[in-house]
Structure 1
Amino acid sequence: MEEVIRLGRYSKEGRTPMKVRMRSQVAAEEIMARKGKLADDIEHKDIWINRDMNLEGREKEKMVRSEGKEKNEKRTEIEKKNLYWRVLDMRLKKWYLRKEEEVVEEARN
């Protein structure tokens, strides 16, 4: 890390956003690639990592999120359940493929 900046006032709860500047793009890419593992770790479940975006990028993301919410509100309960199971199935496939890669890599070493 090159620099860490707190973006808000200090709070006892520790939920203040922080900006972290990395020394290299490679280090930043590694962190972004592994950020999904934080969701699996109970101790660090409240930590969120996002890329810094300019105003245009934030507005675009906000628009996409609002469109997604509108589409989700229009779905029936059955459609919502089917979507949930498709997403879960996709995540399980990714997890399984990652585990297979780890086994192959361990076998090589």
Structure 2
Amino acid sequence: MDAVDKKKGFMIFGMKEKKNPNKITREHEERELAKAVIKQVQDSTQEFDQEVEEVIRLRRYSEGGRRPMKVRMRSQVAVEEIMARKGKLADDVEHKNIWIKRDMNLEEREKEKVLRSEVKEKDKKRIEIEKNFYWRVLDMRLKKWYLRKK
């Protein structure tokens, strides 16, 4: 897959699989599940759920498993809008355990893995006084994430 196709896609993780051994009906249900997640993220005026071109579950089917889903959209703009609003899933009770990431190649995944381990080390080294922030990987960079004061 070339770079343009990668930018038209994203991944959905943590979505539980329905108990349906029939591949055709399962694929239809998965497409509807992906559309439901997109509807949750988009604004009320947008219709990105209509932009879904293809939905593929990765890895082998296992009943009740949580295989990642690869979603390809018709436009790159739709993907960018979804990525900008993916934080809305954390606020929704039904989709709380689901998260969205952009589609990455092996090299990008390896780089992100290194960054995540760096984040863990930096968070361990934080001293007691500096409990008002933590480290995160955002757009392939390390970022300080400040906690809200209550």
Is the TM-score greater than 0.5?
A: yes
Gaps of at least 5 residues in structure 2 are 1-51, 135-144
Secondary structure of 2:147's aligned partner: helix
Secondary structure of 1:50's aligned partner: strand
> With structure 2 as the length reference, what TM-score do the two structures score?
0.53
CA distance in 2, matches of 1:36, 1:70: 25
Q: Which amino acid aligns with 1:88?
A: L
Give 1 or 2 for the bigger CA radius of gyration: 1
1:83 aligns with 2:142: no
CA distance in 2, matches of 1:87, 1:12: 40
CA distance in 2, matches of 1:56, 1:13: 30
- Answer 1 or 2: which has greater helix percent: 1
Query: For residues 3-18 of structure 1, what are the structure 2 equivalents within 5 Å?
Result: 3-18=54-69
- Answer 1 or 2: which has greater strand percent: 2
Q: Which has the higher contact order (CA 8 A, sep 6+)?
A: 2
In the TM superposition, what is the alpha-carbon distance from 1:42 to its structure 2 partner?
A: 0.7
CA distance in 2, matches of 1:32, 1:66: 23
Gaps of at least 5 residues in structure 1 are 91-109
CA distance in 1, matches of 2:88, 2:78: 16
